């Protein structure tokens, strides 16, 4: 590679790394505890668990909905969801209005068999960490900003790969020059850990960027696919009374045989129309359990109005979310994710150190030039 090309790639790598440095450190530092968010919530007592109910039939869904409304009088139900990993747990989300702001929602867990409230969900310190990680408490603008920082991370990774061969062509792989200066030793560690974490950082960076576009993708689905699904019912107003949730569940399962219900969106919520329920169904394999299929049901009669697959961009979003936090392989994968996260923090930190060390070195050389010139006169 020509020297001029190397200098150009070096500039790209330097500034695509430096500009988002503080935000990348925020993302990877907050991302570390989020890998173990379930375990931490359970340890701190913020993860309600149902009583043992082996062999007992689940309670009617309408009974759970009534219990949720009784627990939060004056509010309306937005969503009811079923925990994929804990069959005995049902979550109900209420708000001041069907289209109320997410920050105003109350999330409460219920025993799926006894319809008994188990406590609030998502109220512990992990919620603060999650908000910092996803949008820095700045809403959609914060998400898109962090998505931009994620794109710069991808540029930094790609440019680092391009530069790796020219800068290490005289060294064996994984060489640490222990007898050289501190700056050189850190450069070797920076290059080594960068190579070790490259694929992981690309996956986490790319899935993180996709996740920041979630709201935009949902709006696109609502204005295209969902609009087509409800087009024949465009003249219908909000339901005067809601159909029984037991009927909604039964007919949704008939419309999607072999699938389970992930969650039900009530009429008027961001995931439904003003007149319809939408039951989001999931498969029962490790992969298909991450993908959802919407079933549109009349809000008053529970009659199935339409059902179709989600578009590819929402499927990509659904697959990227658990991959981002290492939720596919249980604790072994989480430990690997955590180790790679720590390594990436070291790569970012060492990159900042190398930049400052290089500037100090150049400054020292520049300041020494006049002295050398006077000595030669």
The string of DSSP codes covering 155-224 is HHHHHHHHHHHHHHTTS-TT---TTS-HHHHHHHHHHHHHHHTHHHHHHHHHHHHHHHTHHHHHHHHIII
Q: Which two tokens stand for residue 163?
A: 């530069």
Is 306 part of any domain? no
pLDDT at 102: 84
pLDDT at 322: 81
Whole-prediction pTM: 0.83
pLDDT at 368: 46
Q: What is the pLDDT of residues 327-348, one digit of tens each?
A: 776 788 899 999 999 999 999 9
Is 225 part of any domain? no
Is 51 part of any domain? no
CB-based contacts of 373, cutoff 8 Å, min separation 6? none
pLDDT at 374: 46
Rg (the chain; Cα; Å): 26
Residue 319's alpha-carbon distances to 208, 279, 292, 310, in angstroms, are 12, 19, 10, 12
Q: Which two tokens stand for residue 231?
A: 């087009």
Is 207 part of any domain? yes
Q: How far is CA 272 from the centre of its chain?
A: 22
Residue 295 CA to residue 251 CA, distance in Å, equals 9
Find where tokens 């039964």 sit: 250
Is 299 part of any domain? no
Pairing status of strand 276-282 against strand 89-95? unpaired
Q: Which two tokens stand for residue 319?
A: 């697959």
pLDDT at 375: 45
CB-based contacts of 17, cutoff 8 Å, min separation 6? 152, 156, 160, 348, 351
pLDDT at 319: 86
For 202, the domain range is 3-39+128-212+329-376
Is 34 part of any domain? yes
Segments of the chain with pLDDT less than 50? 365, 368-369, 371-377
Is 354 part of any domain? yes
Locate all alpha helices (DSSP H) within the chain, ordered by sequence: 3-18, 21-35, 37-44, 61-71, 125-134, 139-168, 182-196, 198-212, 214-221, 227-229, 245-255, 312-324, 330-376
pLDDT at 174: 64
pLDDT at 362: 63
Count structural domains, the chain: 1
| Closest alpha carbon to 232 in 275, 294, 268 | 275
Is 369 part of any domain? yes
């Amino acid at each position: 590679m020509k020297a001029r090309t190397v200098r150009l790639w070096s500039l790209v790598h330097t500034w695509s790394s430096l500009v988002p440095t503080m935000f990348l450190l925020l993302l990877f530092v907050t991302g570390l505890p989020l890998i173990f968010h379930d375990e931490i919530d359970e340890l701190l007592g913020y993860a309600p668990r149902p009583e043992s109910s082996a062999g007992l039939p689940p309670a009617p869904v309408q009974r759970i909905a009534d219990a949720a409304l009784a627990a939060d009088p004056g509010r309306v139900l937005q969503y009811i969801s079923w925990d994929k990993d804990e069959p005995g747990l049902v979550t109900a989300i209420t708000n001041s209005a069907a289209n109320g702001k997410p920050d105003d929602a109350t999330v409460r867990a219920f025993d799926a068999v006894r319809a008994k409230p188990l406590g609030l969900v998502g109220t512990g310190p992990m919620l603060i960490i999650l908000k910092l990680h996803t949008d820095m408490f700045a809403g959609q603008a914060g998400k898109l900003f962090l998505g931009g920082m994620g794109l710069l991370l991808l540029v930094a990774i790609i440019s680092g790969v391009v530069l790796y061969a020219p800068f290490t062509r005289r060294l064996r792989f994984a060489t640490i020059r222990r007898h050289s200066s501190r700056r050189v030793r850190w450069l070797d560690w920076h290059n080594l850990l960068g190579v070790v974490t490259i694929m992981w950082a690309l996956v986490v960076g790319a899935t993180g960027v996709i996740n920041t576009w979630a709201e935009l993708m949902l709006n696109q689905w609502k204005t295209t696919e969902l609009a087509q699904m409800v087009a024949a019912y465009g003249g219908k107003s909000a339901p005067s009374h809601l159909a029984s949730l037991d009927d909604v569940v039964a007919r949704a399962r008939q419309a999607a045989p072999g699938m389970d219900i992930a969650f039900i969106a009530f009429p008027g919520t961001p995931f439904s129309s003003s007149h319809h329920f939408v039951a989001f169904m999931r498969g029962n394999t490790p992969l298909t359990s991450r993908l959802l299929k919407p079933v549109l049901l009349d809000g008053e009669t529970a009659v199935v109005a339409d059902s179709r697959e989600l578009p590819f961009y929402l499927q990509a979003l659904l697959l990227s979310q658990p991959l981002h936090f290492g939720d596919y392989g249980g604790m072994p994968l989480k430990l690997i994710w955590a180790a790679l996260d720590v390594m990436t923090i070291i790569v970012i930190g060492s990159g900042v150190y190398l930049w400052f060390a290089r500037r100090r070195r150049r400054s020292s050389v520049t300041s020494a030039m006049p002295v050398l010139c006077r000595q030669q006169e």
